Amino acid sequence: MTDPDLLTWRKSRRSANGNCVEVANQDGSVFVRDSKNPSGPVLAFDVTVFRVFLAHLGRQR
């Protein structure tokens, strides 16, 4: 797995209270971590799977 310290992490511009996730992408994978615990666990997803996940979230509103 890619070293999380070497990734460029991004947080949502809508994050106001600090309770959010950060994402990074590299080589066709999307990595997700808790912004309050950057040294904690990191989830890795195939970029296509992550796009399907986001599309599903958008339909939940």
Check: CB of residue 11 under 8 Å from CB of residue 20: yes
Check residue 1 and give its pLDDT: 65
Q: How many Å separate Cα 9 from the centre of its chain?
A: 8
Q: Would you state the pLDDT for residue 17?
A: 74
pLDDT of the residue at 26:
94
Strand order in the sheet with 21-26: 10-11, 21-26, 29-34, 43-46
pLDDT tens for the chain, 61 residues long, are 678 889 999 987 777 777 788 999 999 999 999 988 989 999 999 999 999 999 998 887 6
Instruction: Answer whether 0.85 is exceeded by the pTM.
Output: no
Q: What is the pLDDT of residue 12?
A: 79
